[in-house]
Structure 1
Amino acid sequence: MIRNPIDIASRVSSNLSALIEDRVNKSELGQDITLATIHDFVAGLLSDAFTETEERHHFDINESLLDELNALIEEFGESALAIDFVQENASEPLSRVIDAVVNDRDQENPPTLEAVKDAMISGLLASLVGAGVLDEDEDDVLLAEIDALIDRHGADALAEEFIRYE
Protein backbone atom coordinates (compact mmCIF):
# COMPACT_ATOMS: atom_id res chain seq x y z
CA MET A 1 0.00 0.00 0.00
CA ILE A 2 1.35 3.41 -0.95
CA ARG A 3 1.67 5.89 1.91
CA ASN A 4 0.65 9.51 1.39
CA PRO A 5 3.02 12.39 2.10
CA ILE A 6 3.04 13.41 5.75
CA ASP A 7 1.95 17.00 5.10
CA ILE A 8 -1.59 15.92 4.20
CA ALA A 9 -2.36 15.72 7.92
CA SER A 10 -2.24 19.50 8.04
CA ARG A 11 -5.42 19.56 5.94
CA VAL A 12 -7.40 17.54 8.48
CA SER A 13 -9.31 19.11 11.36
CA SER A 14 -7.94 18.42 14.81
CA ASN A 15 -11.21 16.68 15.73
CA LEU A 16 -11.00 14.25 12.82
CA SER A 17 -7.29 13.73 13.44
CA ALA A 18 -7.95 12.79 17.07
CA LEU A 19 -10.78 10.43 16.08
CA ILE A 20 -8.58 8.72 13.47
CA GLU A 21 -5.75 8.31 15.96
CA ASP A 22 -8.15 6.84 18.53
CA ARG A 23 -9.50 4.31 16.00
CA VAL A 24 -6.00 3.35 14.85
CA ASN A 25 -4.86 2.89 18.45
CA LYS A 26 -7.86 0.67 19.19
CA SER A 27 -7.41 -1.49 16.08
CA GLU A 28 -5.84 -4.91 16.16
CA LEU A 29 -2.15 -5.11 15.42
CA GLY A 30 -1.53 -5.40 11.69
CA GLN A 31 -5.01 -4.22 10.74
CA ASP A 32 -4.89 -1.43 8.16
CA ILE A 33 -7.31 1.34 9.06
CA THR A 34 -8.28 3.21 5.90
CA LEU A 35 -10.34 6.31 5.24
CA ALA A 36 -13.20 3.96 4.30
CA THR A 37 -12.93 2.28 7.72
CA ILE A 38 -13.12 5.65 9.48
CA HIS A 39 -16.00 6.74 7.21
CA ASP A 40 -18.00 3.62 8.12
CA PHE A 41 -17.31 4.20 11.82
CA VAL A 42 -18.46 7.85 11.72
CA ALA A 43 -21.51 6.97 9.61
CA GLY A 44 -22.41 4.33 12.21
CA LEU A 45 -22.17 6.90 14.98
CA LEU A 46 -24.55 9.19 13.11
CA SER A 47 -27.20 6.47 12.96
CA ASP A 48 -30.16 6.23 15.35
CA ALA A 49 -27.82 5.16 18.16
CA PHE A 50 -25.85 8.40 17.85
CA THR A 51 -26.88 9.91 21.17
CA GLU A 52 -25.98 6.78 23.13
CA THR A 53 -22.65 6.26 21.36
CA GLU A 54 -21.58 9.91 21.53
CA GLU A 55 -21.29 9.74 25.29
CA ARG A 56 -18.59 7.09 24.99
CA HIS A 57 -16.35 9.21 22.77
CA HIS A 58 -14.44 12.39 23.46
CA PHE A 59 -15.04 13.77 20.00
CA ASP A 60 -17.61 16.14 18.60
CA ILE A 61 -19.09 13.64 16.15
CA ASN A 62 -21.27 15.41 13.63
CA GLU A 63 -22.11 15.47 9.97
CA SER A 64 -19.26 17.86 9.19
CA LEU A 65 -16.80 15.05 10.02
CA LEU A 66 -18.55 12.88 7.48
CA ASP A 67 -18.36 15.70 4.92
CA GLU A 68 -14.66 16.11 5.68
CA LEU A 69 -14.09 12.37 5.27
CA ASN A 70 -16.01 12.34 1.98
CA ALA A 71 -13.77 15.10 0.63
CA LEU A 72 -10.63 13.23 1.72
CA ILE A 73 -11.88 9.99 0.15
CA GLU A 74 -12.68 11.81 -3.07
CA GLU A 75 -9.15 13.23 -3.20
CA PHE A 76 -7.07 10.35 -1.79
CA GLY A 77 -9.27 7.26 -2.25
CA GLU A 78 -11.00 4.91 0.17
CA SER A 79 -7.91 2.76 0.62
CA ALA A 80 -5.67 5.63 1.85
CA LEU A 81 -4.20 4.76 5.24
CA ALA A 82 -5.95 6.78 7.91
CA ILE A 83 -2.79 7.17 10.02
CA ASP A 84 -1.39 9.49 7.35
CA PHE A 85 -4.11 11.99 8.28
CA VAL A 86 -3.23 12.24 11.98
CA GLN A 87 -1.84 15.64 12.98
CA GLU A 88 1.26 15.82 15.10
CA ASN A 89 1.43 19.62 15.08
CA ALA A 90 -0.76 22.36 16.42
CA SER A 91 -3.02 24.24 14.04
CA GLU A 92 -1.91 27.70 12.93
CA PRO A 93 -4.12 29.48 15.53
CA LEU A 94 -2.93 27.19 18.36
CA SER A 95 0.65 27.70 17.16
CA ARG A 96 0.12 31.45 17.65
CA VAL A 97 -1.12 30.80 21.20
CA ILE A 98 1.84 28.54 21.99
CA ASP A 99 4.20 31.11 20.50
CA ALA A 100 2.70 33.80 22.76
CA VAL A 101 3.30 31.62 25.83
CA VAL A 102 6.83 30.67 24.71
CA ASN A 103 7.70 34.34 24.21
CA ASP A 104 6.23 35.40 27.56
CA ARG A 105 9.07 37.03 29.49
CA ASP A 106 7.72 35.69 32.81
CA GLN A 107 8.37 32.05 31.86
CA GLU A 108 11.44 30.59 33.57
CA ASN A 109 11.18 27.16 31.96
CA PRO A 110 10.01 26.19 28.49
CA PRO A 111 6.19 25.88 28.71
CA THR A 112 4.47 22.51 28.58
CA LEU A 113 1.15 21.78 26.92
CA GLU A 114 -0.48 22.03 30.36
CA ALA A 115 1.09 25.47 30.92
CA VAL A 116 -0.31 26.63 27.57
CA LYS A 117 -3.77 25.32 28.49
CA ASP A 118 -3.60 27.07 31.86
CA ALA A 119 -2.64 30.34 30.13
CA MET A 120 -5.51 29.90 27.66
CA ILE A 121 -8.02 29.39 30.47
CA SER A 122 -6.55 32.29 32.46
CA GLY A 123 -7.32 34.90 29.81
CA LEU A 124 -4.65 34.56 27.13
CA LEU A 125 -7.25 33.69 24.48
CA ALA A 126 -9.28 36.82 25.24
CA SER A 127 -6.11 38.90 25.17
CA LEU A 128 -5.08 37.48 21.79
CA VAL A 129 -8.59 38.03 20.40
CA GLY A 130 -8.44 41.63 21.63
CA ALA A 131 -5.06 42.09 19.96
CA GLY A 132 -6.44 40.72 16.68
CA VAL A 133 -4.15 37.67 16.74
CA LEU A 134 -7.09 35.24 16.98
CA ASP A 135 -10.69 35.27 15.76
CA GLU A 136 -13.43 35.43 18.40
CA ASP A 137 -14.90 32.05 17.52
CA GLU A 138 -11.64 30.08 17.84
CA ASP A 139 -11.48 29.70 21.62
CA ASP A 140 -13.62 26.55 22.02
CA VAL A 141 -11.88 24.84 19.11
CA LEU A 142 -8.45 25.72 20.51
CA LEU A 143 -9.29 24.35 23.95
CA ALA A 144 -10.45 21.09 22.35
CA GLU A 145 -7.27 20.98 20.28
CA ILE A 146 -4.94 21.53 23.26
CA ASP A 147 -6.88 18.86 25.18
CA ALA A 148 -6.38 16.43 22.28
CA LEU A 149 -2.63 17.15 22.21
CA ILE A 150 -2.45 16.63 25.98
CA ASP A 151 -4.37 13.35 25.68
CA ARG A 152 -2.00 12.12 22.96
CA HIS A 153 1.35 13.41 24.19
CA GLY A 154 0.93 14.17 27.90
CA ALA A 155 0.57 17.39 29.87
CA ASP A 156 4.35 17.68 30.35
CA ALA A 157 5.23 17.63 26.63
CA LEU A 158 7.11 20.76 25.57
CA ALA A 159 4.60 22.98 23.81
CA GLU A 160 7.03 24.55 21.35
CA GLU A 161 7.61 21.14 19.74
CA PHE A 162 4.05 21.31 18.35
CA ILE A 163 4.29 24.74 16.72
CA ARG A 164 3.56 24.57 13.01
CA TYR A 165 5.53 27.12 11.04
CA GLU A 166 4.00 28.01 7.69
Structure 2
Amino acid sequence: MIPNSIDVSSRVSPRLTALLLSRINDPDTEQPVTLIAVRRFLADLLPRDFREAERLHRFDVSESLLDELDALIEEFDQNALALDFAQASASEALSRVIEAMLDDENNENPPTLSQVRAALLDGLGARLIGEGVLDDDEDDTLLAEIDALIEQFGENTSAEECLRYE
Protein backbone atom coordinates (compact mmCIF):
# COMPACT_ATOMS: atom_id res chain seq x y z
CA MET A 1 0.00 0.00 0.00
CA ILE A 2 1.29 3.46 -0.91
CA PRO A 3 1.42 5.89 2.04
CA ASN A 4 -1.03 8.78 1.76
CA SER A 5 0.67 11.95 0.54
CA ILE A 6 -1.43 14.20 2.79
CA ASP A 7 -1.26 14.19 6.58
CA VAL A 8 -4.51 12.35 7.18
CA SER A 9 -3.77 12.05 10.89
CA SER A 10 -4.51 15.77 11.25
CA ARG A 11 -8.12 14.99 10.30
CA VAL A 12 -8.59 12.34 13.01
CA SER A 13 -10.12 13.27 16.36
CA PRO A 14 -8.13 12.75 19.56
CA ARG A 15 -10.64 10.10 20.68
CA LEU A 16 -10.20 8.11 17.48
CA THR A 17 -6.43 8.58 17.66
CA ALA A 18 -6.43 7.09 21.16
CA LEU A 19 -8.49 4.12 19.92
CA LEU A 20 -6.25 3.58 16.89
CA LEU A 21 -3.12 3.71 19.05
CA SER A 22 -4.61 1.31 21.60
CA ARG A 23 -5.24 -1.22 18.82
CA ILE A 24 -1.86 -0.63 17.14
CA ASN A 25 0.01 -1.00 20.44
CA ASP A 26 -1.97 -4.00 21.71
CA PRO A 27 0.43 -6.96 21.71
CA ASP A 28 -2.50 -9.37 21.16
CA THR A 29 -3.68 -7.61 18.01
CA GLU A 30 -2.68 -9.13 14.71
CA GLN A 31 -0.56 -6.87 12.54
CA PRO A 32 -1.03 -4.90 10.44
CA VAL A 33 -4.00 -3.13 12.00
CA THR A 34 -6.36 -1.78 9.35
CA LEU A 35 -9.24 0.67 9.61
CA ILE A 36 -11.78 -2.11 9.14
CA ALA A 37 -10.19 -4.15 11.94
CA VAL A 38 -10.50 -1.17 14.29
CA ARG A 39 -14.11 -0.63 13.21
CA ARG A 40 -14.98 -4.28 13.89
CA PHE A 41 -13.30 -4.06 17.29
CA LEU A 42 -15.29 -0.94 18.17
CA ALA A 43 -18.58 -2.35 16.86
CA ASP A 44 -18.08 -5.48 18.97
CA LEU A 45 -17.77 -3.31 22.09
CA LEU A 46 -21.14 -1.62 21.53
CA PRO A 47 -24.37 -3.06 22.92
CA ARG A 48 -26.43 -5.09 20.44
CA ASP A 49 -29.29 -2.52 20.53
CA PHE A 50 -26.91 0.26 19.50
CA ARG A 51 -25.39 -1.82 16.71
CA GLU A 52 -28.83 -2.65 15.33
CA ALA A 53 -29.99 0.97 15.47
CA GLU A 54 -26.71 2.10 13.93
CA ARG A 55 -27.13 -0.43 11.15
CA LEU A 56 -30.67 0.70 10.44
CA HIS A 57 -29.72 4.40 10.76
CA ARG A 58 -32.66 5.11 13.07
CA PHE A 59 -30.86 8.01 14.69
CA ASP A 60 -28.05 10.37 13.88
CA VAL A 61 -24.72 9.48 15.44
CA SER A 62 -22.73 11.85 13.24
CA GLU A 63 -20.17 12.55 15.95
CA SER A 64 -19.55 8.90 16.81
CA LEU A 65 -16.29 7.10 16.36
CA LEU A 66 -18.04 4.65 14.06
CA ASP A 67 -19.09 7.45 11.75
CA GLU A 68 -15.60 8.90 11.80
CA LEU A 69 -14.14 5.49 10.96
CA ASP A 70 -16.74 4.95 8.23
CA ALA A 71 -15.83 8.27 6.61
CA LEU A 72 -12.14 7.34 6.63
CA ILE A 73 -12.88 3.89 5.23
CA GLU A 74 -15.02 5.38 2.48
CA GLU A 75 -12.32 7.85 1.52
CA PHE A 76 -9.17 5.76 1.99
CA ASP A 77 -10.26 2.07 1.82
CA GLN A 78 -11.04 -0.41 4.55
CA ASN A 79 -7.58 -1.96 4.28
CA ALA A 80 -5.73 1.31 4.93
CA LEU A 81 -3.28 0.95 7.78
CA ALA A 82 -4.51 2.44 11.05
CA LEU A 83 -0.99 3.69 11.77
CA ASP A 84 -1.31 6.17 8.89
CA PHE A 85 -4.21 7.82 10.73
CA ALA A 86 -2.77 7.97 14.25
CA GLN A 87 -1.52 11.41 15.18
CA ALA A 88 2.13 11.35 16.12
CA SER A 89 2.19 15.04 16.88
CA ALA A 90 0.07 17.70 18.49
CA SER A 91 -2.75 19.37 16.60
CA GLU A 92 -2.36 22.98 15.53
CA ALA A 93 -4.32 24.16 18.59
CA LEU A 94 -2.28 22.07 21.04
CA SER A 95 0.91 23.21 19.31
CA ARG A 96 -0.12 26.82 20.06
CA VAL A 97 -0.61 25.88 23.72
CA ILE A 98 2.83 24.26 23.85
CA GLU A 99 4.41 27.25 22.11
CA ALA A 100 2.80 29.58 24.65
CA MET A 101 4.38 27.54 27.43
CA LEU A 102 7.75 27.53 25.65
CA ASP A 103 7.58 31.31 25.27
CA ASP A 104 6.74 31.84 28.96
CA GLU A 105 9.77 33.46 30.56
CA ASN A 106 8.79 32.02 33.97
CA ASN A 107 9.50 28.47 32.78
CA GLU A 108 13.12 27.50 33.30
CA ASN A 109 12.88 24.23 31.39
CA PRO A 110 10.86 23.18 28.36
CA PRO A 111 7.51 21.75 29.52
CA THR A 112 6.75 18.05 29.59
CA LEU A 113 3.47 16.62 28.38
CA SER A 114 2.28 16.25 31.99
CA GLN A 115 3.09 19.92 32.65
CA VAL A 116 1.04 20.93 29.60
CA ARG A 117 -1.84 18.83 30.92
CA ALA A 118 -1.57 20.45 34.36
CA ALA A 119 -1.51 23.92 32.77
CA LEU A 120 -4.65 23.11 30.77
CA LEU A 121 -6.39 21.96 33.94
CA ASP A 122 -5.31 25.22 35.59
CA GLY A 123 -7.03 27.27 32.88
CA LEU A 124 -4.34 27.89 30.29
CA GLY A 125 -6.75 27.05 27.46
CA ALA A 126 -9.30 29.61 28.68
CA ARG A 127 -6.58 32.23 29.06
CA LEU A 128 -5.34 31.60 25.50
CA ILE A 129 -8.91 31.90 24.22
CA GLY A 130 -9.15 35.25 26.00
CA GLU A 131 -5.90 36.35 24.37
CA GLY A 132 -7.13 35.28 20.94
CA VAL A 133 -4.51 32.54 20.56
CA LEU A 134 -7.19 29.82 20.48
CA ASP A 135 -10.72 29.84 19.11
CA ASP A 136 -13.57 29.10 21.54
CA ASP A 137 -14.17 25.60 20.18
CA GLU A 138 -10.50 24.58 20.11
CA ASP A 139 -10.30 24.21 23.89
CA ASP A 140 -12.84 21.36 23.92
CA THR A 141 -10.54 18.54 22.81
CA LEU A 142 -7.17 19.62 24.19
CA LEU A 143 -7.32 17.45 27.33
CA ALA A 144 -8.27 14.33 25.38
CA GLU A 145 -5.48 15.05 22.92
CA ILE A 146 -2.80 15.64 25.57
CA ASP A 147 -3.96 12.46 27.35
CA ALA A 148 -3.53 10.50 24.10
CA LEU A 149 -0.02 11.91 23.65
CA ILE A 150 0.86 11.07 27.25
CA GLU A 151 -0.41 7.53 26.72
CA GLN A 152 1.61 7.22 23.52
CA PHE A 153 4.88 8.89 24.56
CA GLY A 154 4.83 9.11 28.38
CA GLU A 155 4.19 12.00 30.74
CA ASN A 156 7.82 13.08 31.00
CA THR A 157 8.29 13.51 27.25
CA SER A 158 9.23 17.03 26.24
CA ALA A 159 6.13 18.68 24.80
CA GLU A 160 8.36 20.40 22.24
CA GLU A 161 8.98 17.00 20.60
CA CYS A 162 5.25 16.78 19.78
CA LEU A 163 4.92 20.18 18.11
CA ARG A 164 3.35 20.21 14.68
CA TYR A 165 5.06 22.59 12.29
CA GLU A 166 2.96 23.61 9.31
Q: CA deviation at 1:23?
A: 0.8
Task: With the length of structure 1 as denominator, give the TM-score of the two structures.
Answer: 0.83
In the TM superposition, what whole-angstrom CA distance separates every residue of 1:102-161 from its partner, at most 9, and x where no partner exists? 110111111111111121122211111111222334334101111111111111111011
Is structure 2 residue 107 aligned with structure 1 residue 107? Answer: yes
Unaligned runs of 5+ in 2: 51-61
Alignment of 1:9-158 (within 5 A): 9-28=9-28, 31-48=31-48, 64-158=64-158
Distance (whole Å) between structure 2 residues aligned to residue 109 and residue 63 of structure 1: 38
Q: CA deviation at 1:81?
A: 1.0
Distance (whole Å) between structure 1 residues aligned to residue 41 and residue 109 of structure 2: 42
Distance (whole Å) between structure 2 residues aligned to residue 152 and residue 138 of structure 1: 21
Unaligned runs of 5+ in 1: 51-61
Q: Are the counterparts in 2 of residues 6 and 84 from structure 1 also a CA contact under 8 Å?
A: no
Q: Are the counterparts in 2 of residues 46 and 63 from structure 1 also a CA contact under 8 Å?
A: no
Q: Are the counterparts in 2 of residues 15 and 145 from structure 1 also a CA contact under 8 Å?
A: yes
User: What do you get for the CA RMSD once the two structures are aligned?
Assistant: 2.1
Partner of 2:57: none
Task: With the length of structure 2 as denominator, give the TM-score of the two structures.
Answer: 0.83
Distance (whole Å) between structure 2 residues aligned to residue 33 and residue 87 of structure 1: 15
Q: Secondary structure at the match of 1:37?
A: helix
Distance (whole Å) between structure 1 residues aligned to residue 32 and residue 63 of structure 2: 24
Q: Secondary structure at the match of 1:42?
A: helix
Distance (whole Å) between structure 1 residues aligned to residue 11 and residue 98 of structure 2: 20
